[in-house]
Copies of this chain bind each other. A is one copy, B any other.
């Protein structure tokens, strides 16, 4: 772990500065939170899984033409990334209804959506990360209309790439959350992590609706076997890319 002072500590990661102001170090913690940190715990080995999975998926996307903040993995829990100015909006893409979409619309969990649903949430824990309409995004001046279109297009492209990737791992990509930032040149690039903390992943080899869950929902919903599920995601991904 870096000996420097933390730049920022989030719920699952710590950001440290490096000697180069354009490069940051991301450290992955085992700490897990859910329901806007009302539920707290630890998932043993989560930091390693999320670091490995994030690096694997970000470099896969980078190779497919998606600009990301990834530089390189430097230890089991650490990756170097480009310093970006994070856009305070969480971009969620949903292929299958689950989670808050079901709670807020009454759609049954597991219903396949006619097309991927891209949604924007305010990145603000104090306010509970609320859903944003187009008009609210514009009102809060979080992004411009053309940046919003760019975020949506990038997200749909990432979704298509990751759906294909996970399908080859016998995993269904139900939904996931992305964060973007502006790099030194003001270009929008993919930031943050992509892991079982930020994706809903269902095992295609299992049909039972609870047993198939391979992501943080196991922790949120006290389904047990949390560590095993995270390890299995890592194993499938490593088996595919190696």
Tell me if B130 and A104 are in contact (CB < 8 A).
yes
The answer, yes or no, to whether A113 is at the interface (CB within 8 Å) is yes
Tell me if A133 and B119 are in contact (CB < 8 A).
yes
Tell me if A118 and B135 are in contact (CB < 8 A).
yes
Quick one: closest B residue to A130, CB to CB? B104
The answer, yes or no, to whether A140 is at the interface (CB within 8 Å) is yes
Quick one: closest B residue to A104, CB to CB? B130
Residue among A107, A130, A131, A139 facing the most chain B CB atoms (10 A cut-off) = A139
Tell me if A103 and B127 are in contact (CB < 8 A).
yes
Residue among A113, A119, A132, A136 facing the most chain B CB atoms (10 A cut-off) = A136
Tell me if A134 and B136 are in contact (CB < 8 A).
no
Question: Which residues of A134-162 are within 8 A (CB) of B?
Answer: 134-136, 139-140
Residues on B with C-beta less than 8 A from A105 are: 122, 127, 130, 136, 139-140
Q: Copies per complex?
A: 2
Residues on B with C-beta less than 8 A from A131 are: 130-131, 133
Contact indicator per residue, chain A 96-125, by CB within 8 Å of chain B (1) or not (0):
000001011111000001100111001010
Chain A: interface secondary structure?
Answer: mixed
Residues on B with C-beta less than 8 A from A101 are: 136
Residues on B with C-beta less than 8 A from A126 are: 106
Tell me if B134 and A133 are in contact (CB < 8 A).
yes
Query: Nearest Cβ in chain B — how far from A169, in angstroms?
Result: 28
Residues on B with C-beta less than 8 A from A127 are: 103-106
Quick one: closest B residue to A119, CB to CB? B133
A133 to B92, alpha carbons, bound, how many Å? 13
Residues on B with C-beta less than 8 A from A128 are: 104
Tell me if B134 and A117 are in contact (CB < 8 A).
no
Residues on B with C-beta less than 8 A from A119 are: 133, 135
A104-B130, A127-B106 known; A139-B122 Cβ under 8 A: no
Tell me if B133 and A113 are in contact (CB < 8 A).
no
Query: Nearest Cβ in chain B — how far from A8, in angstroms?
Result: 20
Quick one: closest B residue to A124, CB to CB? B106
Residues on B with C-beta less than 8 A from A106 are: 124, 126-127
